[in-house]
Amino acid sequence: MSAPELDADLRHALDEFCGRDRVLVASDYDGCIAPIQPRPDLAVPNPESLAALRECAERSHTLAAMVSGRARDDLAAMSGLTSAPASDLVLVGSHGAEFDTGFDQPITAEQQDLLNRIIDEFGSIARRFDGTSVETKPASTTLHVRNASPADATAALALAADGPAAWSGVHVTEGKAVVELAVIETSKGLALDRLRDQFGADAVLYLGDDVTDEKAFAHLHRGTDVGIKVGTGVTGAQFRVPTTDHVAAVLAYVAGHRN
Ligand SMILES: O=P(O)(O)OC[C@H]1O[C@H](O[C@H]2O[C@H](CO)[C@@H](O)[C@H](O)[C@H]2O)[C@H](O)[C@@H](O)[C@@H]1O
């Protein structure tokens, strides 16, 4: 299949972006690099997006990053990418909180206890509703309802909202057919700020499809940065593309226009 066309105004913004001295090219994983699937373990990456992201990292003065809600180890396993300190390809997990150096603040015993209690509660909710499941991560846990009936999905999410989501010390992130509860505060926006500062990037490009990506779009600088929302939904991003194939096209365009 031929690569999808990008709108002229997006191509113009990408041309300006590619002309900057030092740039950060960052993308979300699920719904961007990998099409959404019924289960997290089925979400394999689009090989064209992966290849293009790798090519971006090989360009001079170009840092490439994947910033995901997944646990960083899971992100590495699913994407097949690795990143090491000083590499020009960086993986950030746990909605922007988990770098190759781990979490900035180790999870305390109290937070671990809280997380265990949330996981237990999610487990008992999931046992009540067919098609729901629980994903555990180092600092959070996700209740998945994608494979439940609409009525069961609504009921399971309501129990989560009235139960552990309302507990003290719990941070709630809503996503595509999921609710995620964390025991630390996370922000993809702060992760982008950190990568921008460390690399000394003059401009940042970010692709995202979900609610959690809005924190990243909110940290972009008007005029120099490029925010691209993938798919439908309210967004603060300047640009929108319809599919994950367009993500591959955007990344390939950048790789092809950077020296
Ligand atoms: O920040 P992301 O890389 O987009 O990660 C967000 C969440 O993605 C995963 O869940 C989503 O993708 C699944 C696979 O396509 C899908 O089944 C699920 O309904 C989606 O919400 C992942 O499982 C979560 O841990 C991430 O937080």
Span from the CA of 108 to the centroid of ligand 1 (angstroms): 26
79: domain CATH number is 3.40.50.1000
Span from the CA of 93 to the centroid of ligand 1 (angstroms): 12
Supply angle C-alpha 171, 172, 177, rounded to 5: 155
Domain end marker among 132, 162, 182 = 182
Instruction: Please tell me the predicted confidence (pLDDT) of residue 153.
Output: 98
Number of neighbours of residue 203 by Cβ within 10 angstroms: 21
- Global pTM reads 0.96
Q: Identify whether residues 90 and 115 lie together within a single domain.
A: no
What pLDDT digit, counting tens, does each position of 193-223 carry?
999 999 999 999 999 999 999 999 999 999 9
**Ligand 1 atom closest to Cα of residue 30:** 4
- Long-range CB contacts (within 8 A, 24+) of 123-126: 125/156, 125/159, 125/160, 125/163, 126/156
Look up the domain containing 64 and give its range. Answer: 8-104+186-257
Q: Identify whether residues 24 and 93 lie together within a single domain.
A: yes
The proportion of the chain whose per-residue pLDDT surpasses 70, expressed as a percent, equals 98
What pLDDT digit, counting tens, does each position of 93-152 carry?
999 999 999 998 899 999 999 999 999 999 999 999 999 999 999 999 999 999 999 999
Supply angle C-alpha 82, 84, 88, rounded to 5: 85
Q: Measured between alpha carbons, how far is residue 101 from residues 30, 87, 90, 98, 104 in Å?
A: 23, 13, 11, 8, 8
Ligand 1 pocket test, pick from 178, 179, 188, 229 with the greatest ligand atom count within 8 Å of Cβ, gives 178
Residue 46: inside a domain, yes or no?
yes
